[in-house]
Protein backbone atom coordinates (compact mmCIF):
# COMPACT_ATOMS: atom_id res chain seq x y z
CA UNK A 1 0.00 0.00 0.00
CA UNK A 2 1.07 3.59 -0.53
CA UNK A 3 1.72 6.17 2.19
CA UNK A 4 -1.81 7.54 1.76
CA UNK A 5 -3.42 4.12 2.22
CA UNK A 6 -2.14 3.84 5.77
CA UNK A 7 -2.95 5.61 9.02
CA UNK A 8 -0.15 7.71 10.43
CA UNK A 9 1.07 8.74 13.83
CA UNK A 10 0.96 12.41 14.73
CA UNK A 11 4.75 12.65 14.30
CA UNK A 12 4.49 11.17 10.81
CA UNK A 13 1.79 13.69 9.95
CA UNK A 14 3.94 16.61 11.18
CA UNK A 15 6.84 15.30 9.06
CA UNK A 16 4.51 14.99 6.08
CA UNK A 17 3.31 18.59 6.56
CA UNK A 18 6.91 19.84 6.57
CA UNK A 19 7.94 17.73 3.61
CA UNK A 20 4.89 18.71 1.57
CA UNK A 21 5.57 22.41 2.10
CA UNK A 22 9.30 22.03 1.39
CA UNK A 23 8.81 19.94 -1.74
CA UNK A 24 6.25 22.36 -3.20
CA UNK A 25 7.61 25.80 -2.33
CA UNK A 26 5.64 27.64 -5.00
CA UNK A 27 2.22 26.12 -4.27
CA UNK A 28 2.14 25.00 -0.63
CA UNK A 29 2.74 26.96 2.53
CA UNK A 30 2.48 25.74 6.11
CA UNK A 31 0.84 28.37 8.30
CA UNK A 32 0.93 28.15 12.08
CA UNK A 33 -2.52 29.17 13.32
CA UNK A 34 -2.13 28.39 17.01
CA UNK A 35 -1.33 25.56 19.34
CA UNK A 36 -3.18 22.86 21.24
CA UNK A 37 -3.80 22.60 24.98
CA UNK A 38 -0.63 20.51 25.32
CA UNK A 39 1.21 23.09 23.16
CA UNK A 40 1.45 21.17 19.93
CA UNK A 41 1.46 23.34 16.81
CA UNK A 42 -1.66 23.63 14.64
CA UNK A 43 -0.50 23.88 11.02
CA UNK A 44 -2.71 24.74 8.09
CA UNK A 45 -1.49 23.97 4.59
CA UNK A 46 -2.36 26.68 2.11
CA UNK A 47 -2.62 25.41 -1.46
CA UNK A 48 -2.35 28.26 -3.92
CA UNK A 49 -1.90 27.49 -7.59
CA UNK A 50 -1.84 30.99 -8.98
CA UNK A 51 -1.93 34.55 -7.74
CA UNK A 52 -4.84 36.13 -9.54
CA UNK A 53 -6.26 39.02 -7.53
CA UNK A 54 -9.55 38.62 -5.64
CA UNK A 55 -9.06 34.93 -5.16
CA UNK A 56 -11.62 33.18 -3.05
CA UNK A 57 -10.87 30.31 -0.72
CA UNK A 58 -12.16 27.12 0.80
CA UNK A 59 -11.33 25.54 4.13
CA UNK A 60 -11.17 21.86 5.08
CA UNK A 61 -10.46 20.65 8.60
CA UNK A 62 -9.87 17.11 9.74
CA UNK A 63 -9.38 15.39 13.06
CA UNK A 64 -11.68 17.40 15.33
CA UNK A 65 -12.53 14.08 16.97
CA UNK A 66 -9.52 12.02 17.99
CA UNK A 67 -10.76 8.50 17.22
CA UNK A 68 -11.99 9.30 13.69
CA UNK A 69 -8.73 8.30 12.05
CA UNK A 70 -10.12 8.32 8.51
CA UNK A 71 -10.53 12.07 8.84
CA UNK A 72 -6.85 13.12 8.99
CA UNK A 73 -6.20 10.41 6.40
CA UNK A 74 -8.64 12.24 4.13
CA UNK A 75 -6.91 15.60 4.53
CA UNK A 76 -3.61 14.01 3.47
CA UNK A 77 -5.39 12.28 0.59
CA UNK A 78 -6.95 15.54 -0.55
CA UNK A 79 -3.66 17.46 -0.54
CA UNK A 80 -1.93 14.65 -2.38
CA UNK A 81 -4.70 14.54 -4.99
CA UNK A 82 -4.53 18.31 -5.47
CA UNK A 83 -0.76 18.28 -5.97
CA UNK A 84 -0.82 15.22 -8.23
CA UNK A 85 -3.83 15.97 -10.42
CA UNK A 86 -3.78 19.74 -10.88
CA UNK A 87 -4.04 20.19 -14.65
CA UNK A 88 -4.99 16.53 -15.12
CA UNK A 89 -8.34 16.26 -13.40
CA UNK A 90 -10.87 18.83 -14.61
CA UNK A 91 -12.68 19.41 -11.35
CA UNK A 92 -9.71 19.81 -9.03
CA UNK A 93 -8.12 22.08 -11.63
CA UNK A 94 -11.20 24.30 -11.81
CA UNK A 95 -11.30 24.56 -8.04
CA UNK A 96 -7.59 25.27 -7.60
CA UNK A 97 -7.61 27.80 -10.46
CA UNK A 98 -10.14 29.95 -8.68
CA UNK A 99 -9.70 29.22 -4.99
CA UNK A 100 -6.95 28.92 -2.45
CA UNK A 101 -7.48 25.88 -0.27
CA UNK A 102 -6.68 25.87 3.44
CA UNK A 103 -6.29 22.40 4.93
CA UNK A 104 -5.96 21.71 8.66
CA UNK A 105 -4.96 18.03 8.80
CA UNK A 106 -5.36 17.52 12.57
CA UNK A 107 -7.37 20.02 14.58
CA UNK A 108 -7.08 17.92 17.77
CA UNK A 109 -3.47 16.71 17.86
CA UNK A 110 -3.44 15.97 21.61
CA UNK A 111 -6.47 13.69 21.34
CA UNK A 112 -5.17 12.06 18.16
CA UNK A 113 -1.82 11.31 19.80
CA UNK A 114 -3.64 9.85 22.82
CA UNK A 115 -5.61 7.40 20.63
CA UNK A 116 -2.30 5.98 19.37
CA UNK A 117 -0.86 5.24 22.81
CA UNK A 118 -2.94 2.29 24.14
CA UNK A 119 -5.82 0.09 23.02
CA UNK A 120 -8.16 1.36 25.68
CA UNK A 121 -7.47 4.92 24.56
CA UNK A 122 -8.33 4.22 20.94
CA UNK A 123 -11.92 5.46 21.49
CA UNK A 124 -11.00 8.89 22.83
CA UNK A 125 -13.01 11.70 21.16
CA UNK A 126 -12.27 15.00 22.92
CA UNK A 127 -9.19 17.15 23.31
CA UNK A 128 -7.02 16.69 26.43
CA UNK A 129 -7.67 19.82 28.44
CA UNK A 130 -7.88 19.44 32.20
CA UNK A 131 -10.95 20.98 33.82
CA UNK A 132 -10.34 22.99 36.98
CA UNK A 133 -13.44 21.42 38.56
CA UNK A 134 -12.42 17.84 39.24
CA UNK A 135 -10.59 15.00 37.61
CA UNK A 136 -12.14 14.53 34.17
CA UNK A 137 -10.28 15.41 30.99
CA UNK A 138 -11.36 16.69 27.63
CA UNK A 139 -13.70 19.05 25.81
CA UNK A 140 -15.60 18.05 22.68
CA UNK A 141 -14.28 20.66 20.24
CA UNK A 142 -17.39 20.23 18.11
CA UNK A 143 -19.51 21.50 21.01
CA UNK A 144 -17.17 24.36 21.91
CA UNK A 145 -17.98 26.84 19.13
CA UNK A 146 -20.02 29.92 19.90
CA UNK A 147 -23.37 29.00 18.45
CA UNK A 148 -26.22 28.26 20.87
CA UNK A 149 -23.39 27.04 23.11
CA UNK A 150 -24.18 24.44 25.78
CA UNK A 151 -27.85 23.99 24.91
CA UNK A 152 -28.54 20.92 22.79
CA UNK A 153 -26.73 17.59 22.56
CA UNK A 154 -23.97 18.82 24.81
CA UNK A 155 -23.02 18.62 28.47
CA UNK A 156 -21.29 20.95 30.91
CA UNK A 157 -20.00 17.88 32.74
CA UNK A 158 -16.29 17.41 31.89
CA UNK A 159 -16.67 13.66 32.41
CA UNK A 160 -18.96 13.34 29.39
CA UNK A 161 -18.09 12.68 25.75
CA UNK A 162 -20.05 15.72 24.58
CA UNK A 163 -18.64 18.17 27.12
CA UNK A 164 -18.92 21.66 25.64
CA UNK A 165 -16.24 23.15 27.94
CA UNK A 166 -16.58 25.92 30.54
CA UNK A 167 -17.49 28.65 28.02
CA UNK A 168 -17.64 29.14 24.21
CA UNK A 169 -14.20 28.98 22.55
CA UNK A 170 -12.62 28.00 25.86
CA UNK A 171 -10.25 25.65 24.03
CA UNK A 172 -7.10 26.82 22.21
CA UNK A 173 -7.88 24.54 19.25
CA UNK A 174 -11.32 26.15 18.82
CA UNK A 175 -9.86 29.64 19.23
CA UNK A 176 -7.19 28.99 16.60
CA UNK A 177 -9.73 27.89 13.98
CA UNK A 178 -12.33 30.52 14.88
CA UNK A 179 -9.77 33.34 14.83
CA UNK A 180 -8.37 32.22 11.50
CA UNK A 181 -11.81 32.00 9.91
CA UNK A 182 -12.86 35.37 11.37
CA UNK A 183 -9.75 36.96 9.84
CA UNK A 184 -10.43 35.31 6.47
CA UNK A 185 -14.20 35.39 6.37
CA UNK A 186 -14.29 37.77 3.41
CA UNK A 187 -12.44 35.30 1.18
CA UNK A 188 -13.59 31.91 2.50
CA UNK A 189 -16.74 30.81 0.68
CA UNK A 190 -16.78 27.12 1.52
CA UNK A 191 -16.22 25.41 4.88
CA UNK A 192 -15.93 21.62 5.10
CA UNK A 193 -15.24 19.60 8.25
CA UNK A 194 -14.47 15.89 7.98
CA UNK A 195 -15.75 13.34 10.51
CA UNK A 196 -16.68 9.67 10.70
CA UNK A 197 -18.60 7.49 10.69
CA UNK A 198 -22.09 7.01 9.17
CA UNK A 199 -21.80 8.13 5.54
CA UNK A 200 -23.67 11.39 5.78
CA UNK A 201 -23.39 14.74 4.04
CA UNK A 202 -24.73 17.27 6.51
CA UNK A 203 -25.29 21.01 6.37
CA UNK A 204 -26.60 23.65 8.81
CA UNK A 205 -28.31 23.75 11.03
CA UNK A 206 -27.71 21.24 13.78
CA UNK A 207 -28.41 23.61 16.66
CA UNK A 208 -31.97 24.24 15.47
CA UNK A 209 -34.57 22.69 13.19
CA UNK A 210 -34.97 26.09 11.49
CA UNK A 211 -33.89 26.07 7.86
CA UNK A 212 -30.82 27.98 6.76
CA UNK A 213 -31.73 30.79 4.38
CA UNK A 214 -29.84 28.99 1.59
CA UNK A 215 -31.25 25.57 2.55
CA UNK A 216 -32.30 24.72 -1.00
CA UNK A 217 -28.85 25.44 -2.42
CA UNK A 218 -27.16 23.36 0.27
CA UNK A 219 -29.60 20.50 -0.20
CA UNK A 220 -29.10 20.49 -3.95
CA UNK A 221 -25.32 20.40 -3.51
CA UNK A 222 -25.19 17.41 -1.17
CA UNK A 223 -27.87 15.61 -3.14
CA UNK A 224 -25.74 15.83 -6.25
CA UNK A 225 -22.69 14.69 -4.28
CA UNK A 226 -24.57 11.68 -2.90
CA UNK A 227 -25.90 10.78 -6.36
CA UNK A 228 -22.45 10.90 -7.86
CA UNK A 229 -21.03 8.72 -5.08
CA UNK A 230 -23.79 6.21 -5.71
CA UNK A 231 -23.11 6.20 -9.45
CA UNK A 232 -19.32 5.98 -9.23
CA UNK A 233 -18.83 3.86 -6.13
CA UNK A 234 -22.21 2.19 -5.52
CA UNK A 235 -22.22 3.43 -1.95
CA UNK A 236 -25.03 5.17 -0.09
CA UNK A 237 -24.70 8.53 1.68
CA UNK A 238 -27.66 10.13 3.40
CA UNK A 239 -27.87 13.89 3.40
CA UNK A 240 -29.73 16.85 4.85
CA UNK A 241 -29.64 19.45 7.60
CA UNK A 242 -27.89 18.21 10.75
CA UNK A 243 -30.65 18.47 13.34
CA UNK A 244 -33.14 16.50 11.26
CA UNK A 245 -30.73 14.10 9.56
CA UNK A 246 -28.42 13.18 12.45
CA UNK A 247 -29.38 14.79 15.77
CA UNK A 248 -29.74 18.28 17.23
CA UNK A 249 -26.56 19.62 18.79
CA UNK A 250 -25.18 23.06 19.64
CA UNK A 251 -21.70 24.50 19.42
CA UNK A 252 -20.63 22.80 16.17
CA UNK A 253 -18.12 24.27 13.75
CA UNK A 254 -20.35 23.98 10.66
CA UNK A 255 -23.20 26.00 12.17
CA UNK A 256 -20.73 28.54 13.56
CA UNK A 257 -19.03 28.99 10.17
CA UNK A 258 -22.41 29.42 8.49
CA UNK A 259 -23.44 32.10 10.97
CA UNK A 260 -20.08 33.81 10.49
CA UNK A 261 -21.11 34.27 6.86
CA UNK A 262 -19.53 31.25 5.16
CA UNK A 263 -22.74 30.28 3.41
CA UNK A 264 -21.56 26.96 2.06
CA UNK A 265 -20.78 24.93 5.16
CA UNK A 266 -20.73 21.16 5.48
CA UNK A 267 -19.93 18.25 7.78
CA UNK A 268 -19.03 15.09 5.88
CA UNK A 269 -19.24 11.85 7.85
CA UNK A 270 -17.14 9.29 5.99
CA UNK A 271 -17.25 5.47 5.96
CA UNK A 272 -18.49 3.24 7.15
CA UNK A 273 -22.02 2.69 8.45
CA UNK A 274 -20.99 0.80 11.56
CA UNK A 275 -19.41 -2.47 10.47
CA UNK A 276 -15.94 -1.35 11.53
CA UNK A 277 -16.92 2.10 12.75
CA UNK A 278 -13.92 4.07 13.99
CA UNK A 279 -11.70 1.03 13.36
CA UNK A 280 -12.05 1.28 9.59
CA UNK A 281 -9.29 -0.98 8.21
CA UNK A 282 -6.48 0.61 6.18
CA UNK A 283 -7.64 -1.35 3.14
CA UNK A 284 -10.79 0.83 3.14
CA UNK A 285 -8.94 4.16 3.20
CA UNK A 286 -8.75 4.60 -0.56
CA UNK A 287 -12.45 3.84 -1.07
CA UNK A 288 -13.54 6.11 1.76
CA UNK A 289 -11.28 8.96 0.63
CA UNK A 290 -12.17 8.74 -3.06
CA UNK A 291 -15.86 8.99 -2.22
CA UNK A 292 -15.30 11.95 0.06
CA UNK A 293 -13.06 13.56 -2.54
CA UNK A 294 -15.86 13.30 -5.09
CA UNK A 295 -18.20 14.98 -2.60
CA UNK A 296 -15.70 17.78 -1.90
CA UNK A 297 -15.14 18.38 -5.61
CA UNK A 298 -18.87 18.35 -6.30
CA UNK A 299 -19.66 21.02 -3.73
CA UNK A 300 -16.50 22.96 -4.63
CA UNK A 301 -17.45 23.24 -8.30
CA UNK A 302 -21.04 24.12 -7.33
CA UNK A 303 -19.81 26.99 -5.18
CA UNK A 304 -17.85 28.33 -8.15
CA UNK A 305 -21.00 28.20 -10.26
CA UNK A 306 -23.12 29.94 -7.64
CA UNK A 307 -20.77 32.55 -6.27
Which residues here bind Zn ion, judged by CB under 5 A? Answer: 65, 195
Region from 55-63, 177-185, 245-253, 277-285 binding ligand 0X9, contact rule CB under 6 A: 245-253
For ligand 0X9, the closer of residues 82 and 204 by Cβ is: 204
CA distances from 81 to 4, 78, 284 (A): 10, 5, 17
DSSP-assigned beta bridge partners for residue 61 = 104, 193
Strand-pair category, 99-104 with 28-35: unpaired
Catalytic residue among 68, 169, 173, 269: 269
For Zn ion, the closer of residues 65 and 297 by Cβ is: 65
Question: Minimum Å distance from CB 267 to Zn ion?
Answer: 8
The answer to whether residues 81 and 93 touch, using CB atoms and an 8 Å cutoff, is no
Q: Pick from Zn ion, ligand 0X9, none: which does 173 bind, CB < 5 to 8 A by kind? A: none
Measured distance CA(89)–CA(67) in Å, rounded: 32
Measured distance CA(104)–CA(102) in Å, rounded: 7
User: With 0-12 CB in 10 A as exposed, 13-18 as middle and 19+ as buried, what is 22?
Assistant: exposed
End-to-end CA distance of the chain: 39
Is residue 195 close enough to count as binding ligand 0X9 by CB under 6 A?
yes
Binder of ligand 0X9 out of 249, 265, 271, 298 (CB under 6 A)? 249
Which DSSP symbol is given to 265? Answer: E
The answer to whether residues 151 and 250 touch, using CB atoms and an 8 Å cutoff, is yes
Question: Minimum Å distance from CB 241 to ligand 0X9?
Answer: 10
Is residue 245 close enough to count as binding ligand 0X9 by CB under 6 A?
no
Measured distance CA(189)–CA(173) in Å, rounded: 22
Question: Minimum Å distance from CB 16 to ligand 0X9?
Answer: 23
The footprint of ligand 0X9 on residues 116-155 (CB under 6 A) is: 142
For Zn ion, the closer of residues 195 and 258 by Cβ is: 195
Rg (CA), the chain: 18
Q: 161 an active-site residue?
A: no
The answer to whether residues 165 and 171 touch, using CB atoms and an 8 Å cutoff, is yes
Question: Minimum Å distance from CB 82 to ligand 0X9?
Answer: 24
Is residue 252 close enough to count as binding ligand 0X9 by CB under 6 A?
yes
Question: Minimum Å distance from CB 68 to Zn ion?
Answer: 5
List of residues contacting ligand 0X9 (CB under 6 A): 65, 68, 142, 195, 202, 206, 242, 246, 249, 252, 254-255, 267, 269
Active site residues per annotation: 269
Amino acid sequence: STFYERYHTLEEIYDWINRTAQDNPRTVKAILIGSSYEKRPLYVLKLSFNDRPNRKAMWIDCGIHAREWISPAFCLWFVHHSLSFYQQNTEITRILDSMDVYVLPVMNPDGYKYTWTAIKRRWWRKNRSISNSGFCVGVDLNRNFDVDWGIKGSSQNPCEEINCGPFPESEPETQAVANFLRRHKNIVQLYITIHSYSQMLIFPYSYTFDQAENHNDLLEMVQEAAQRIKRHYRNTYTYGPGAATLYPSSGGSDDWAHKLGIKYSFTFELQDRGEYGFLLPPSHISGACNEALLAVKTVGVKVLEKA
